A and B are shown apart, each in its own frame.
Chain A
Amino acid sequence: MGNLKNYLPDQYDNTDLKEINHNYLIEQFSDYREIFGKIEQVVRKGDYTLGRAVDEFEKKFAEVTGAQFAIGVGSGTDALFLSLKALGIGKGDEVITTPYTFYATIGAIVTAGATPVFVDIGEDYNIDTKKIEAAIGPQTKAILPVHWSGKICEMPRIDELAKQHGLHVIGDACHAILAKYNNYYAGSLGTVACFSLHPLKNLNVWGDGGLVVTNNQEVANRLKLIRNHGLADRDTCREFAYNSRLDTIQAVVGMHILDNKLEYITEQRINNSLFLDEGLRGITQIRVPIREPNIKQVFHIYMILCEQRDKLLDYLQSNSIDAKVHYPVPMHLQPAANNLGYQKGDFPVAEKTAEMALSLPVHEHISKEDLSKMIDAIKGFYR
Chain B
Amino acid sequence: MKMKIPFVNLKTQYENLRKELTDSFEAVASSGMYILGNQLKKFENEISNLCETKYAVGVANGTDALFLSLKVLDVGENDEVITAPNSFIATAGAIIATGAKPVFADIREDFNISPESIEAKISSKTKAIIPVHFTGRPACMDEIREIADSKRLYIVEDAAQAIGAKYKSKPVGALGHLGCFSLHPLKNLHLYGDGGIITTNHKELYSRLCLLRNHGLINRDECATWGYNSRLDELQAAFGIKKIKYIKAWNQRYREIAQMYNKGLKDFVTCPADNSELECVFHNYMIIAEQRDKLIEFLTEKGIETKIHYPIPIHLQKVGLELGYKKGDFPVAEEICDKMVSLPIYPELTNDQIEFVVDGIKEFYQ
List residues of A (174-210) whose CB comes within 8 Å of B's CBs: 198-199, 205-208
B14 in contact with A13 (CB, 8 Å): no
Q: Which residues of B contact A5 (CB under 8 A)?
A: 203-204, 207
Q: Which residues of B contact A327 (CB under 8 A)?
A: 220-221
Is B107 at the interface (CB under 8 A from chain A)? Answer: no
Bound CA–CA A49/B185 (angstroms): 8
Rounded to whole Å, the gap between the CB of A276 and the closest CB of chain B is 23
A2 in contact with B223 (CB, 8 Å): no
Per DSSP, are chain B's interface residues mostly helix, strand or loop, or mixed?
A: mixed
Is A248 at the interface (CB under 8 A from chain B)? Answer: yes
A12 in contact with B93 (CB, 8 Å): no
Number of interface residues of B (CB under 8 A): 72
Give 1 or 0 for each of B1-37: 1 = CB within 8 Å of chain A CB. Answer: 0000000101100100000001001101111111111
Which residue of chain B is the closest to A42 with respect to CB atoms?
Answer: B192
Give 1 or 0 for each of B218-238: 1 = CB within 8 Å of chain A CB. Answer: 101111111111110111100
Is A341 at the interface (CB under 8 A from chain B)? Answer: no
B32 in contact with A25 (CB, 8 Å): yes
Is A289 at the interface (CB under 8 A from chain B)? Answer: no
In the complex, which of the residues B37, B185, B221, B225 contacts A329, with contact meaning CB atoms closer than 8 Å? B221
List residues of A (1-22) whose CB comes within 8 Å of B's CBs: 1-2, 4-5, 7-9, 11-15
Rounded to whole Å, the gap between the CB of A3 and the closest CB of chain B is 10
Bound CA–CA A337/B227 (angstroms): 12
Q: Which residues of A contact B312 (CB under 8 A)?
A: 235-236
Give 1 or 0 for each of A261-289: 1 = CB within 8 Å of chain B CB. Answer: 00000000000000000000000000000
Among B60-68, B276-284, B291-299, which stretch is in contact with chain A? B60-68
Per DSSP, are chain A's interface residues mostly helix, strand or loop, or mixed?
A: loop
Among A75-83, A118-126, A163-171, A293-301, which stretch is in contact with chain B? A75-83
Bound CA–CA A245/B185 (angstroms): 13
Bound CA–CA A48/B215 (angstroms): 26
Among A28-36, A128-136, A214-222, A313-321, which stretch is in contact with chain B? A28-36
Is B242 at the interface (CB under 8 A from chain A)? Answer: no
Is A155 at the interface (CB under 8 A from chain B)? Answer: no
Beyond A23-B32, A240-B96, is A329–B229 a contact (Cβ under 8 Å)?
A: no
B93 in contact with A240 (CB, 8 Å): yes
Among A63-71, A104-112, A304-312, A367-375, which stretch is in contact with chain B? A104-112
Beyond A106-B226, A230-B93, A336-B226, is A199–B34 a contact (Cβ under 8 Å)?
A: yes
Which residue of chain B is the closest to A247 with respect to CB atoms?
Answer: B193
Which residue of chain B is the closest to A242 with respect to CB atoms?
Answer: B97
Contact count A vs B, C-beta below 8 Å: 213
A107 in contact with B319 (CB, 8 Å): no
A77 in contact with B228 (CB, 8 Å): yes
Q: Which residues of B contact A8 (CB under 8 A)?
A: 203, 206-207
Is A334 at the interface (CB under 8 A from chain B)? Answer: yes
Rounded to whole Å, the gap between the CB of A97 and the closest CB of chain B is 13
Q: Which residues of B contact A11 (CB under 8 A)?
A: 36, 210, 214, 217
Beyond A4-B211, A111-B227, A328-B221, is A12–B90 a contact (Cβ under 8 Å)?
A: no
B229 in contact with A78 (CB, 8 Å): yes
B11 in contact with A208 (CB, 8 Å): no
A334 in contact with B222 (CB, 8 Å): yes
List residues of B (207-266) whose CB comes within 8 Å of A's CBs: 207-208, 210-211, 214-218, 220-231, 233-236
Is B121 at the interface (CB under 8 A from chain A)? Answer: no
Bound CA–CA A329/B207 (angstroms): 23
Q: Which residues of A contact B97 (CB under 8 A)?
A: 240-242
Q: Which residues of B contact A336 (CB under 8 A)?
A: 216, 223-226
In the complex, which of the residues A7, A106, A207, A328 contacts B235, with contact meaning CB atoms closer than 8 Å? A207
Beyond A2-B224, A4-B204, A74-B229, is A237–B216 a contact (Cβ under 8 Å)?
A: no
Rounded to whole Å, the gap between the CB of B228 and the closest CB of chain A is 6
A26 in contact with B224 (CB, 8 Å): no
6 pairs, CB–CB < 8 Å, chain A vs chain B: A39-B25, A74-B229, A75-B230, A103-B227, A229-B93, A239-B319
Chain A residues in the interface with B (C-beta under 8 A): 1-2, 4-5, 7-9, 11-15, 23-26, 28-30, 32-33, 35-36, 39, 43-44, 46, 48-49, 74-78, 81, 102-104, 106-107, 110-111, 113, 198-199, 205-208, 229-231, 235-245, 247-250, 325, 327-329, 331, 334-337
Chain B residues in the interface with A (C-beta under 8 A): 8, 10-11, 14, 22, 25-26, 28-38, 40-41, 60-64, 89-90, 92-93, 96-97, 99, 184-185, 192-194, 203-204, 206-208, 210-211, 214-218, 220-231, 233-236, 310-312, 314, 317-319
